[in-house]
Amino acid sequence: MRVRKVVALGIGLAVAGGLFAFERAGLGVPLERGVESVLRSWLKADALVVVPWLKLGYATLAAVLAAWFCLDLPHASRRAGFLLGLAFLTLTLCPVLGLRGVLFEPFTSLFGLLISGLAAMALAGASGERRRHELRRFFVGRLGEEGFREVLKAGDGRQLTGRREVSAVTCQMLNHAALSREMEAEELEDFSSSFLKVVAEFLVSKGGYLDECDVHRVRVLFGFPNADENHAVSAARAALELRQRAGNLVQELEHRWHKRAMIGAAISSGEVTTGLFGFREFEFFSAVGEALDFGEQLCLLNGEYGSVLLVSSETLAAAQDGLEVRPLEMIRRGEGGRMVEIYELLALKHGLTEEAAVARDAFWQGIILLRKGDAAGARKQFAKAAMEGVSDPTLSYFEAKVRGAEERVVERASVKLEKEVEVKQDKEVVAKPEKVGRGKKAKS
């Protein structure tokens, strides 16, 4: 983008410099006298004022604008249309200013803008520039400028079709349905749009590709369209920064609309199929795969655990021990899928304080003991995992689970005791008639 601006400015100023030399040589005087003669005969004016800077000033502006838009517009028809429109405006200025008593000779400016526009159009027609225009509509707003330049260097877009490893960051407003019942339609529209805009623009600025952005979710891919061996760590870094930004965003939304948004995010990694999908104006580069579907499932689980950012075991493996996490539970992947372990992302490697690392390790031991059925041991470890002054809804969720497990143990023991008492009472009832019968026999 910056290079194109410099090139357009250079073309426009070069043409303007030529026009300045043309005027300095006095070659434009006959044109100016001819225009003045025609205007006087048409307008019946006695004298027309010549503004010294007007002619060259307008010629410079027109030359720069012609180069700028003819280089930037995506189709040749649009460039030609803009150029013709600017030429018409230039010719129209002559009689309009003449009515105001000002002499304006348009042919010098017209010549300059045509030369500048045609030079820019010739440059835009080069293969690299043509490829940029063809691909730009697919990536504008979805990919940062640096990423787009990498796509252009890689080829014409055909290299984006295939299978590759990616990491997807999915972010949702978890209480969107509840808010739809509490807010007016216009308020919810602004509320949701503010959330989507901030999240999407932030993740794109961190190098991601905006794969999906609708009322339900924002999904950004790392590792596509540009390959990235460290896509999992890149996604985690962006998501962790988003988690900090999300806290401020929630406060901003609550301050403006007096409603609190519940935001959840997840990272899932794996092999996906990528390519150009759709037709005509609905074409877009995207990806399809189980990893993306699992990301949505993970994202929704934040509402259950009270967490903000979950990651899959595949993401943890792809990051090659580059993440600090704590385990949560084993869940079924999709409908009828295999059981997998999921994690809460805490920081990048070595990003935890000593206190936080100790708390994480205690939490990890608590999860292991809870899975083994040792509720009492898990409760002790979870107590060690609590950090003073730090709210931890995920820890509270598992502490409640431990209490539930202990209550079930007590309940089972109580039921077992009741059954034992009932059995004992039944035996005593059976034994009494036998004793009475033996007593009567003895007396007889």
Q: Which of 49, 182, 71, 57 has the alpha carbon at shortest distance from 116?
A: 71
Q: What is the pLDDT of residue 408?
A: 73
DSSP state at residue 284: E
Q: Which amino acid, residue 214?
A: D
- Give the pLDDT of the chain (444 residues) as one tens digit per residue: 566 778 888 888 888 888 888 888 877 788 878 887 887 778 776 677 888 788 888 889 988 998 888 877 766 788 888 889 999 998 898 888 888 888 888 888 888 889 988 888 877 665 466 667 777 888 888 998 888 888 888 776 778 899 999 999 999 999 888 988 988 999 999 999 999 999 999 999 999 999 999 888 999 999 999 999 999 999 999 999 999 888 888 898 889 888 888 999 999 999 999 999 988 778 899 999 999 999 999 999 999 999 999 999 999 999 988 999 999 999 988 777 789 999 999 999 999 999 999 999 999 999 999 999 898 899 999 999 999 888 899 999 999 989 888 777 666 666 666 676 666 666 666 666 655 555 544 444
Q: What is the pLDDT of residue 384?
A: 93
309-312/263-277 β-pairing: parallel
- Rounded to whole angstroms, the Cα distance separating 344 from 222 reads 19
- Rounded to whole angstroms, the Cα distance separating 380 from 365 reads 10
Question: 440 in helix, strand or coil?
Answer: helix
Q: Is the peptide bond before 95 cis (omega within 30 degrees of 0)?
A: no
Q: Which of 129, 147, 151, 189 has the alpha carbon at shortest distance from 4?
A: 129
**What is the full DSSP assignment across 230-246?**
THHHHHHHHHHHHHHHH
pTM of the model: 0.69
Q: What is the pLDDT of residue 444?
A: 46
Q: What is the pLDDT of residue 431?
A: 64
- Rounded to whole angstroms, the Cα distance separating 347 from 322 reads 9
Q: What is the pLDDT of residue 409?
A: 65
- Rounded to whole angstroms, the Cα distance separating 402 from 399 reads 5
Cα pseudo-dihedral 93, 98, 101, 107, rounded to 10: 70
Task: At 49, give phi and psi (nearest 5°).
Answer: -85, 135
**What is the full DSSP assignment across 312-326?**
EHHHHHHTTS-EEEE
- Rounded to whole angstroms, the Cα distance separating 29 from 38 reads 14
218-222/162-173 β-pairing: antiparallel
